[in-house]
Amino acid sequence: MPTQQLILLLVGVPPTPSSLRVRVWRRLRSLGAVPLKRSAYLLPDTPERYEDFQWLAQEIEREGGEATLIRIQQIENISPENVQRLLHEPRDHDYRQLAARYRKVLQSLDKKPAVKGARLPEELAHLAREHQRIRDIDYFDAPSGAEVRRLEEVIAMRTRRQEPVHREERRPLDLAGLRGRRWVTRPRPHIDRIASAWLIKRFIDPDAEFLFAPPAEFPKDAIPFDAPGVELSHQGEDCTFETLVKRARLRDRRLVRLAEIVHEADLRDGKYPHEEARGIDVAVRALLAASPDDRQVLAQGMTLFEGLYATTSRRP
């Protein structure tokens, strides 16, 4: 992790009144301060965060407590890796809790419509507000935030497709017209995008070239996939990989099982509880954490799926 100057706040709060201790703790939590040790808290050294700590220090001193504000360049007795882990830990915890709530929503989408209820938009709005609150204090880009963003995207694509799918949208793909093309998807490819790219290259368009861009900037001449509002994406309960397998009329038994693994790894809705799903999810996360280059992640991920395909049984 690049060296980043930090602000350290040392807090000494008298035992009474107890309300001061509670008030200080709540304020530290709302600021996203990272606990270093007991009564020592960190924030990035920016003008805004420095002012936040200054105001809190003044409040503590006014109430009879002690507060010392220190600028630090590094923590001598902790390795850079452990410092990074320390700075990420509180927000990773927040993101994991939020991800669990998003997965419950995703599971509810597979139940009969009456179970979804009119409260779904309200619940999604509440989760979005909580996500924004965490992002506002995620000063060090905790890696677990990527999982929450992925789940939000999956739910957005699923809820956009609650209207009936027109029959022409299920027509087979014209494979001959798709060869030698450019394909585009969103940056930071995860399970479904990598698996879909492998499927495209392996069975649909051997000469495919893959691009990454925000959906609003997709090139007009490229075929979009795995993005909200595009044809080759989530359809009903299917992830993009499943959509491509069905639209391309691919009958390979190994692809059927692979589609189930991708579905579970991507959606985690319990529909296909294959043990490989967790492993492939962890492997792809490791690739993303190790490299900021989406093309490199895609190439390594496609090799991973080629190996998974090769070792998948042809038996149903």
**Per-residue model confidence (pLDDT) at position 75:** 85
- For range 257-264, the mean pLDDT: 93
Angle at the Cα of 196 from the Cα atoms of 190 and 199, rounded to 5 degrees? 140
Which has the closest alpha carbon to 105: 159, 165, 160?
159
Q: Full-prediction pTM beyond 0.85?
A: no
Gap between the Cα atoms of 226 and 185, Å rounded:
6
- For range 192-208, the mean pLDDT: 95
Gap between the Cα atoms of 143 and 250, Å rounded:
36
- For range 184-209, the mean pLDDT: 95
- The answer for residues whose C-beta is within 8 angstroms of residue 281's C-beta and 6 or more apart is 191, 265
**Per-residue model confidence (pLDDT) at position 18:** 82
**Per-residue model confidence (pLDDT) at position 16:** 78
- For range 184-205, the mean pLDDT: 95
Helices 120-136, 145-160: axis angle to 10 degrees equals: 150
Ordered by where they begin, the domains of the chain are: 6-72 (3.30.70.240), 80-160 (no CATH), 168-310 (no CATH)
**Per-residue model confidence (pLDDT) at position 168:** 44
- Quick one: pLDDT band at residue 314, thresholds 50, 70, 90? low
* Lowest model confidence (mean pLDDT) among 49-53, 115-119, 178-182, 206-210: 115-119
One-letter amino acid for residue 59 of the chain: E
- For range 146-153, the mean pLDDT: 88
Above 70 in pLDDT, residue 3? Answer: no
Please tell me which residue, 310 or 315, carries the higher pLDDT value: 310
pLDDT tens readout for residues 78-131: 888 888 899 999 999 999 999 999 998 988 876 655 445 567 888 888 999 999
pLDDT tens readout for residues 215-234: 889 999 999 999 888 989 98
231 contacts 161 by C-beta, under 8 angstroms: no
3-state secondary structure of 237: coil
